[in-house]
Amino acid sequence: MARSALLQVMTQAATKAGRVLARDFGEVQHLQVSMKGPADFVSSADRKAEEVVFKELSRVRPDWGFLMEERGAIEGRDPQHRWIVDPLDGTTNFLHGLPMFSVSIALERDGEIVAAVVFNPAMDEMYTAEKGGGAYLNDRRIRVASRKTLPEALFGTGIPFLGMGDHAGFLYELRQIMGETAGVRRYGAASLDLAFVAAGRLDGFWERALNPWDIAAGVLLIKEAGGIVTGLEGESFDHIRGDIACGNEFIHKALIGQLKQASTKRRAARRAGESRETGEVDPNAPA
């Protein structure tokens, strides 16, 4: 496949950062690790990889800004362009010796993602996409899966962990979807989950409140692979807000329907609970 000059720069930056991660992977017990928050770790490998990406991209486009997991937002002199970077998505996997982590780089132009790279150095898999140019795994064109019904579909998701997310709400969604499908997987790296949807390995994916650097690149991969990406109620997707549901045309529609059913059941349970507390009978509560 022919890559544009910009995409070539992005893949080179991801490859160099991946080498840094690969050198430390397998020796995670020797890393200097600090705590950012509950179950949210940052390693020396994470910081080194981010430095590599920052230097590589700044060298070729010094006027462009950044949005990075560790450094945050960095304003550039060119307000139209911004790099969105996660140097190590799947940090907890990395620190536990699980080979499910990636370097994720997206280029945002006037608020729209126009180029994307997701690289898993442990598996030597480079996912790339440019707006209007299709999506690729290494040099092979990829497409979303063609399955049309939930019973044959495999989904990915993210599970809320210690101190993060709406645990009760997620359990309603999980119960609803796992009861209708071939299965649900949780790999622990959203950028790879989305890349797997683009490559047809997963039929769909949903999660709430992801960060822009987790999903910006993966969303373009899915769109260029023929998939649909929206918010959790089918609304227009916003990579800054971070609520996401995706799949092919048929699976995406079915997924949105299941999420709405889960939300309806949770509201009914809440009403039933409130009625029990007040001694009232809720006629809409399930028997």
Predicted confidence band of residue 276 (pLDDT cuts 50, 70, 90): low
Residues 141-167: pLDDT tens digits? 999 999 999 999 999 999 998 888 899
88 labelled binding-site residue: yes
Q: Is the pLDDT of residue 287 over 60?
A: no
Task: Write down the pLDDT at residue 162.
Answer: 87
124 labelled binding-site residue: no
Three-state SS sequence of the chain: CCCCHHHHHHHHHHHHHHHHHHHHCCCHHHCCEEEEECCEEEEHHHHHHHHHHHHHHHHHCCCEEEEECCCEEECCCEEEEEEEEEEEECHHHHHCCCCCCEEEEEEEECCEEEEEEEEECCCCEEEEEECCCCEEECCEEECCCCCCCHHHCEEEECCCCCCCCCHHHHHHHHHHHHCCCCEEECCCCHHHHHHHHHCCCCCEEEECCCCHHHHHHHHHHHHHCCCEEECCCCCECCCCCCCEEEECHHHHHHHHHHHHHHHHHHHHHHHHHHHHHHCCCCCCCCC
166 labelled binding-site residue: no
pTM: 0.91
Instruction: List, in order of start, the domains of the chain with CATH numbers.
Output: 5-142 (3.30.540.10), 150-278 (3.40.190.80)
Task: Write down the pLDDT at residue 110.
Answer: 96
Q: Is the pLDDT of residue 267 over 80?
A: yes
Task: Write down the pLDDT at residue 283.
Answer: 44
224 labelled binding-site residue: no
Task: Write down the pLDDT at residue 281.
Answer: 42
Residues 89-140: pLDDT tens digits? 999 999 888 999 999 999 999 999 999 999 999 999 999 999 999 999 999 9
280 labelled binding-site residue: no
Task: Write down the pLDDT at residue 104.
Answer: 98
